[in-house]
Structure 1
């Protein structure tokens, strides 16, 4: 892909969507996306994209689309023209990659016997799935409720917390994402999802997240435990708080709080009788090297929300896990979903658990974590464009900045890197406008992982070279826009 972004790198404030609109992922309406679209020469692809644009309702980060696919197998996506991408995005459903044979086999077997169960009936596959989830979760998380998607599970968790505590108010984190439904955006922290939506669910108080690199309340020693103290302050001042909802690790731009932070949060919630709801929808099922993210911090939530990868990259399925003591809402329909105990979806989830165990993927992910950390930190030492590297397991964020001291977001450079990587056969998303979010399938081989990181390094190196070439000129010209976000 020829990249006319040199000028954009110099004047990156112009012709770019506001950074707030990029919080969840890269925008599909930027000049860089338009430039990418112009490079697509395959007529079938162009016709397919035009047809998609004609019939689907346009929305951010979806239609208009990036490319048109005909295949997905293992770690690869294949487009209409035969190009293959290593997928380091996957909407977070691709822990096992795509089309894992064991998952496909179990789904096919289930389709041939019991393809559907109305919710007033049970089935052994759903029961087995619920039991296995409680076993891998461990601790006191021994009650399960299924739903067709993660956003629905968030709604169920909020309803259960209200019922159990009798308190309707919720504390959440700024910049968090919990889904796109009205209740989920009410507790979510990304303003772009609430824009133009009018009144939302009342009683939500948001506090700053525990962010080490560019946090709202930086600590001189780099610690983050004081962010938990802010939670207690709000609980005590506001009153009537029933739940605190948060991701164990923020998936979009990969913010990793400390163990001390989460230990402190657990203590605060216990002391004030506030339920801790942990949203592990994108990161659960092994991405952090643990079944669920909270296990990395040695705590247990009161309500755990999981989804995405639970369906093995084949079917949609999500689940709420909670403690037996909260099994008190038998007269309330917390979910009431048509596919509440789908035998097909549960068969896929059971197969996913079996693959993770049989292929020792949790141990593999922890070993891969050390390799990825070393590679990315080497890049950080090499390229001044990289301001921060952070992650756990096979979830990593590489934050690009135009200035190491001011931490000004390198918006145009991040887009340049992303589209260059796409051209070289690697797909991932950009979050917050300048964070490369890398989340490969857990099954990825070390050789493939090395090739992918080579592509990332090449693309960042090219962008860094452009920046270093033009920055001195702009300093001499006194370009005020170069240093601004």
Structure 2
């Protein structure tokens, strides 16, 4: 089993770029063309954590697969959460090609029918009172717009967020984000941010015997009352990275607290929106409605970068303030991709499919948990699942080396995914995956888990 390793902040996003296992993987890239491309990449791109060096080079992507320069295919169970429709969905490509031929760009201060139709469709699938839209080039920008609007509406600049949360990599986004690896060495950031512990079922800061989590919501009210001047609470309804799934009671209480104290509830559904939860948006699984919704990633169908901030008509009061002012504010191409994505999800019945596949994944993963002692916890919703690996059930010590071994064996066998917090295997397959493909991927994963249990002497 893993020796007692002191956790470090860089593990929070599963950074495995500097370990011996990663070096061994790099050495295994023996194809001359691959090595040449990796060398050119290293020489021209600015190096950064979690991106450098690259795992491999890609030359094709179709459906659930990405393909490297040697022709090897990986089932992509990560996809940076843009691949709800997989890659190269024909309906999205068709709509984007048609749009490029007709109107490729719309200068700011002009509008276009595609952008209007996209915004109208977006408010339709949101339902409720969420009926005002601003588009942005990426999710981080959508978060920034929501934070600005909350200040304008409430007159308060303070924000409460959750530890270990991720809301983007810009300075304002890392200011409200809860992962220390993104803030290290950055100096003073946006003032007025308070963080509270997230609702964590398996290893929470304040665990209780019955496993309930409403007391984590109550902590929000304590901070709001003690701090004063809080304008917004921002969180993912379900945390994507290490897959934390709060109860409905938790979110009901959060909504009540925000209403009571006139705090804007901002839901960041950038990674999980567009059907990953089995609902259009994850908050809909909790029967609540945010004051502002931030979406992105999968909105562009794995083809075009586009994001949006959606809010309520009663907050349409910022006519004299530039909330976004982005060059691609009403991008015809981005909106064509987003509109086609929503159409494809409906036409292909992917929301219901995600719910059915979710139950299948739950059953298979829980069977593995009962069988393999390295699996400490299984949790998920829709097509988003976290498998937490531990050295033993009692201490819940994180099994870092074991998780890394599982990752590289699965990569060798054609399944790519992300490791979060150093020990949580995150599986987020495309919603279009067939049951046969899903079964094959889970078999590859189980084979890797079984090998790790044997290699690390688990009984």
TM category, shorter: over 0.9
Map of 1:13 onto structure 2: 5
Say if 2:339 is the partner of 1:344: no
Among 302, 309, 320, which residue is 2:291 paired with? 302
2:79 is aligned to 90
SS in 1 for 2:293: strand
Match of 2:322 among 333, 336, 348: 333
Shift of 1:30: 1.7
- For the Cα contact (< 8 Å) 2:2–2:391, is it kept in 1? no
| Maintained 8 Å contact 1:172/1:206 | yes
- Equivalent residue number for residue 446 of structure 1: 435
- After superposition, the C-alpha distances for 1:73-125 in whole angstroms (9 at most, x for unaligned) are 00000000010000000000000000000000000000000000011100000
The alignment status of 1:139 with 2:128, answered yes or no, reads yes
Distance 2:439 2:4 in 1: 31
| 2:58–2:66 Cα contact (<8 Å) kept | yes
- Report what 1:290 is aligned to: 279
Q: List aligned pairs for 1:392-431, cutoff 5 A.
A: 392-431=381-420
What SS does the corresponding residue of 1:184 show, helix, strand or coil?
helix
1:61: Cα distance to partner?
Answer: 1.2
Cα distance in structure 2, aligned partners of 1:42 and 1:250: 38
CA distance in 2, matches of 1:279, 1:30: 32
CA contact (8 A) 2:2 2:400 kept: no
State how far apart, in whole Å, the 2-side matches of 1:387 and 1:366 are: 24
Matched, 1:214 2:203: yes
Alignment of 1:43 with 2:35, yes or no, is no
Asked if structure 2 preserves the Cα contact closer than 8 Å seen for 1:27 and 1:60, the reply is: no
| Cα distance in 2 between the residues matched to 1:78 and 1:457 | 23
What SS is found at the alignment partner of 2:311? Answer: strand
- Structure 2 counterpart of 1:5: none
State the distance in 1 between where 2:285 and 2:2 align. 41
In the TM superposition, what is the alpha-carbon distance from 1:422 to its structure 2 partner? 0.1
How far the C-alpha of 1:39 sits from its partner, in A, is 1.0
Query: Which SS does the other structure have where 1:468 is aligned?
Result: coil
> Matched residues in 2 for 1:72 and 1:20: separation?
32
Question: 1:26-425 residue pairs with structure 2 within 5 A?
Answer: 26-425=15-414
Residue 103 of structure 1 aligns to a residue whose secondary structure is helix
3-state SS in 1 of match to 2:204: coil
Deviation at 1:384, TM superposition (A): 0.2
**3-state DSSP of counterpart to 1:118:** coil
Unmatched segments (≥5 aa) in structure 2: none
Structure 1, unmatched stretches of 5+, are 1-8, 472-485
Counterpart secondary structure, 2:49? coil
- 8 Å Cα contact 2:2-2:402 kept in structure 1: no
- Alignment root-mean-square deviation, CA: 1.0
Shift of 1:41: 1.2
TM-aligned CA deviation for residue 256 of structure 1: 0.3
Q: In the alignment, does 2:453 pair up with 1:461? A: no
How many residues are treated as equivalent by the alignment? 459
Is the Cα contact below 8 Å between 1:287 and 1:395 reproduced in 2? yes
TM-score, with structure 1 as normaliser:
0.94
The TM-score normalised by the length of structure 2 is 0.99
Per-residue CA deviations over 1:270-300 (Å, capped at 9, x if unaligned) read: 0000000000000000000000000000000
Does the residue aligned with 1:200 lie in a helix, a strand or coil? coil
**Per-residue CA distance 1:380-404 (angstroms, 9 max, x = gap):** 0000000000000000000000011
- Please state whether the residue corresponding to 1:372 is helix, strand or coil: helix
Q: How has the CA–CA distance of structure 1 residues 190 and 10 changed in structure 2, closer, same or farther, with 3 Å as cutoff?
A: closer
Q: CA deviation at 1:12?
A: 6.6
Deviates further, 69-78 or 26-35: 26-35
Deviation at 1:10, TM superposition (A): 4.5
Distance 2:455 2:16 in 1: 23
Q: Distance in 2 between matches of 1:453 and 1:56?
A: 35
Partner of 1:387, secondary structure, is strand
